[in-house]
Structure 1
Amino acid sequence: DGISNWRLPTFEELQTLQDFGKYPKIDPVFNTKKSGKYWTSTEYPFDPSTLAYYIDFSRGFSASYGDRSVYEKSNTYAVRCVRGEPLQERKFTRDATKNIVTDHTTHLMWEDTSHITSKSSVAEAIKYCEDMTLGGYSDWHLPNINEIYTITDKTHYDPAINAVFNNRVTIGSENSSSHYRKANYWTSTYYGPNSDNENVHYYRTLNARDGASHRCKYGMDMHVRCVRTAQ
C-alpha cells in the first residue's frame, strides 16, 4: 500500500500479540501465525552489542535459563514488523509510607515491602496475595504474566525490574540454569501439564534477572509480588 515506515518491534510491542491460550501463542486475528522465535529490537543488557531479546510463539517463552546463545543477534529467527508510535512509557510512583508502587499507565498498584516472599507452589502464592492487607487494601492478587511484564526494565540486567522498586531480587554472575531460577517470580498464568505426567502442572514465571519468562512447576520456591487494580 505504499507504506514504508515499518520497523522491528520492541519486546513490549511484540509481547502484546501473545495469546497464551492458543497454539501458536499468537492472537488469532492474524492470518499468518507461524510458531517459533521472533526477533525484537530490544537489546539484551548483559551484552547489547551482540545479544537481543526474542519471543518464542511456540510456547510463549522469552527465557533460556542461562543459555545466552539463544539471544545472539546472528541467529536466524522470524520477523514481524510494526509501524506507528512507540508504546507509552510507564509512569511509576512509590508511596514509601504504604510500601506500594503505582503504575499510572496501567493503573496497577504493586506490593513493594522490604521482605522478599517465596512460595513453593502457585496455589500458595495465590493464597498469600489474597490474604494480604497492605496500605489499607485487601483486594490483592497474584499477577498474570502480562501484568508482571509491565514492571520490567530491559535496559538493566540483574535486576531487570524498574528502579522505582526498593525490593528487587538479584542473584549475581553465576549462569547455571538452577541459579537462574532463583530470580523467578510466580504468575497466575497457566502453562499446561507435564508431557510425561498430566498431574504435574506448570505456570508461567517472570525472571527478575533479565525480565524474560519461562515456566515452573510446584515444589520449586519462587518469589511472589502481589498486585491490585487501582480504583
Structure 2
Amino acid sequence: MIKSKASKLTLIALSVVTALCNINTAVASIGGKQVSPSYAIVDTNQSQCFGTTDQEKCPSATEAMFGQDAQYQGNQPSYIKHDNGTVSDQVTGLMWSQTTDINGDGKINAQDKLTFEEAVNYIKNLTLAGYSDWRLPTIKELYSLTLFDGQDPSGIKLNTGKSQLIPFIDHEIFGVNTGDTKSGERLIDSQFVTSTKYVSTTMHGDDTVFGVNFIDGRIKGYGTSMPDGSVKTFYVLAVRDNPDYGKNDFVKADNGTIVDQATSLVWQQNDSATTMNFTDALGYCESLSVSGNNNWRLPNVKELQSIVDYTRSPDTSASAAIDPLFNSTSITNEGGKKDYANYWSSTTHVNLKDGENATYVSFGRATGFMNGQWLDVHGAGSQRSDPKVGDASQYPQGKGPQGDSIRINNMVRCVSGGGVTFNASPEYQARTAMTIENMSTESTSDMPMNKSPLTMMDTNGDGKISFSEARGPLKEDFKRLDKNKDGFLTKDEIPSKPKHD
C-alpha cells in the first residue's frame, strides 16, 4: 500500500464532491516571487489507468499504483486545422505543416520519405501558406505532438489486409501513415526526423539524429547511414512560430528544488539515488516531502522529456543528459561502463495486447545487446519502455531487434506544479482508430517466431539470400553481415537479432 500524505488525501476527498480539484498552481514560486511560464507542455492524453498488465479502475490514494498519468491532467491537446495545409497548436503556439505527403500524389508511403540532409534542404526551400520561415522541428517540438492513448503494435503479428490502429499522434488532424509494407518496410517504420543530432554516436560510431515514431510511441536515435551504404529515410513535418519552445530556464531554489521558469514545473533536485520498479516509483513520489512541499507526483513522460539536455551525454560531457544543476546518481551499465540511469514516468506504454509496460527516458546511454556486446543503440535522451514489475535477469540479452536493455528497476525524479489538476475518475474517450493496410506477413518488429529469415526470404530455394531477396533488417545490414563478400548471406552469417534502426 502507498503511504499517502494528509494534504493530498484532503484534496482527494474534496474531489469526490467536485470531481476535479487543483493540486498544483499554474505558476511556480521562487523566494515568494511568482514565475509565469513561457511555454506549455501538452498533456499525454492518457485517461485510463492500468495495473501491472491490464486496464483497471483508477486506484484510490490508499491503493497501490495510485498517481498514474491518467489521474493528473495537464494542458489538453487542442489544434486548429486550416484550409491552407497547416495546423495551429493552441497549447504550444507552434504552427505545423499538415501532411507528410511530400510529393503531393495523395498517398503517404515510402516515396514521401527523405534522408536527413534532404529533409533539411526541403524545409529550407519550403514556402507553405504564404510562409517561408519553416524549420525542421527539434526533438522537443516534435515530441509535443505525441499522444499516449495510442497503441503500440510492436512484436505483434497482424493479419495481412486492413485493420484498425490508434497511432501516437492525432491522425485526424495530421496526414500520417504507418511504414510502407508494400515496399518491404515494417508497419512500425514510421520514424519522423528532427533537427536534433545526438552529440555522441550510436551502435559502432554511427552519426545519429533523433526522431519520433508515431506508430510505436518512442523516441530513438537513428543512424543517418546504413551498413550497406544506403541512407536512412524519414517522414517529415515542418514547424514555425514560437522558437523558444523547449528551451529550459532552470533556477535552483534554496529548498532542494529546481524550478523551470519556462514551464512552471518544480523538480526534485536530487533523484531517488536508488532504482525501483514502476509501482514503487509511483509510491515514492506520492509520499515524498521536500522542504514542506508534499504535492509531488511521478512526472508524465512528456514532462520528464522536457528536462533532457540534448547537448550533453555520458560520452561527450561525462554526465547525464540533464542540466548540471540537477544531481544525477551514476550507475554501472550492462556493459560495465559508468553511466546514468533510465528514469520512470507515470505514463503506461499501451500496446495492442495490454498495458504491461511503462515509459521511461534514458538520461544515460540507451543500451542494447547487439552482435555479442552492449552498445548505446538509441542515444541519451531516448524514450522507451520497461515492464512495470518483474525480474530483469530474465532478459540477459535485452529484448527486441536492437536487444534493448530491460532493467525494470529505474531511477526516479519527482515533479510538482505546472498547472496540473487531479482527477479521481478520469473519463476515457477513445480516439478514432486509423485504418491501416498491412501487406507484410512478418511481425511488426522482427521475423515470425516460427520461421527463420532464410526460410522467409530465399525465394529461389538456393539455400542463401541475395541482396535483392533480403528485406528489412537483413537488407540494411547486408554488407556487414556478408563476411566472405560473396554477395550472399548463408545460414551461419544470419544473426538471431539483425540490426534495425
Please state how far the C-alpha of 1:90 moved relative to its aligned partner.
Answer: 1.2
Q: From the superposition, tell whether residues 206 and 31 of structure 1 become closer, same or farther in structure 2 (CA, over 3 Å).
A: closer
- In the alignment, the residues of structure 2 paired with residue 53 and residue 44 of structure 1 have an alpha-carbon distance, to the nearest angstrom, of 7
Q: From the superposition, tell whether residues 134 and 193 of structure 1 become closer, same or farther in structure 2 (CA, over 3 Å).
A: same
Q: CA offsets, 1:116-164, max 9 Å, x none?
A: 13212x1111111111111211111000001111111001112111222
Any idea what SS the aligned residue of 1:93 has?
strand
Q: What is residue 481 of structure 2 aligned with on the other side?
A: none
- In the alignment, the residues of structure 2 paired with residue 203 and residue 181 of structure 1 have an alpha-carbon distance, to the nearest angstrom, of 21
Q: Which runs of 5+ in 1 are unaligned?
A: none
Q: What is residue 146 of structure 1 aligned with on the other side?
A: 302
Q: What is residue 224 of structure 2 aligned with on the other side?
A: 72
Q: What is residue 99 of structure 1 aligned with on the other side?
A: 256
Question: Scaled by the length of structure 1, what TM-score is found?
Answer: 0.83
Question: Scaled by the length of structure 2, what TM-score is found?
Answer: 0.40
Any idea what SS the aligned residue of 1:123 has?
helix
Contact 2:252 2:258 in 1 (8 A): yes
* Mapping for residues 193-212 of structure 1, pairs under 5 Å: 195=353, 198=354, 201-209=356-364, 210-212=380-382
- In the alignment, the residues of structure 2 paired with residue 6 and residue 56 of structure 1 have an alpha-carbon distance, to the nearest angstrom, of 21
Q: CA offsets, 1:156-193, max 9 Å, x none?
A: 1121112221x124457x786x9899621111101125
Letter in structure 2 aligned against 1:162: D
Q: What is residue 325 of structure 2 aligned with on the other side?
A: 164
- In the alignment, the residues of structure 1 paired with residue 217 and residue 249 of structure 2 have an alpha-carbon distance, to the nearest angstrom, of 26
Any idea what SS the aligned residue of 2:275 has?
strand
Q: From the superposition, tell whether residues 194 and 182 of structure 1 become closer, same or farther in structure 2 (CA, over 3 Å).
A: farther
Q: From the superposition, tell whether residues 202 and 114 of structure 1 become closer, same or farther in structure 2 (CA, over 3 Å).
A: closer
- In the alignment, the residues of structure 1 paired with residue 235 and residue 412 of structure 2 have an alpha-carbon distance, to the nearest angstrom, of 33
- In the alignment, the residues of structure 1 paired with residue 356 and residue 275 of structure 2 have an alpha-carbon distance, to the nearest angstrom, of 19
Q: From the superposition, tell whether residues 194 and 119 of structure 1 become closer, same or farther in structure 2 (CA, over 3 Å).
A: farther
Contact 2:286 2:297 in 1 (8 A): yes
Any idea what SS the aligned residue of 1:203 has?
strand
Contact 1:144 1:187 in 2 (8 A): yes
- In the alignment, the residues of structure 1 paired with residue 139 and residue 233 of structure 2 have an alpha-carbon distance, to the nearest angstrom, of 17
- In the alignment, the residues of structure 2 paired with residue 125 and residue 175 of structure 1 have an alpha-carbon distance, to the nearest angstrom, of 22
Letter in structure 1 aligned against 2:144: T
Q: What is residue 282 of structure 2 aligned with on the other side?
A: 126
**Is 1:191–2:319 an aligned residue pair?**
no
Contact 2:341 2:410 in 1 (8 A): yes
Query: What's the C-alpha RMSD, in Å, of the aligned pairs?
Result: 2.8
Contact 2:272 2:411 in 1 (8 A): no
Contact 1:24 1:33 in 2 (8 A): no
Q: From the superposition, tell whether residues 179 and 221 of structure 1 become closer, same or farther in structure 2 (CA, over 3 Å).
A: farther
Contact 1:110 1:225 in 2 (8 A): yes
Contact 1:54 1:71 in 2 (8 A): no
* Mapping for residues 13-92 of structure 1, pairs under 5 Å: 13-22=141-150, 23-35=166-178, 36-47=190-201, 50-63=207-220, 70-72=222-224, 74-88=231-245, 89-92=247-250
Letter in structure 2 aligned against 1:206: V
Rg larger in 1 or in 2? 2
Q: Which runs of 5+ in 2 are unaligned?
A: 1-128, 151-165, 179-189, 226-230, 315-319, 365-379, 391-407, 420-501
Letter in structure 2 aligned against 1:2: G
Please state how far the C-alpha of 1:230 moved relative to its aligned partner.
Answer: 6.1
4+ residue segments displaced more than 3 Å: 169-172, 178-182
Contact 1:194 1:202 in 2 (8 A): no
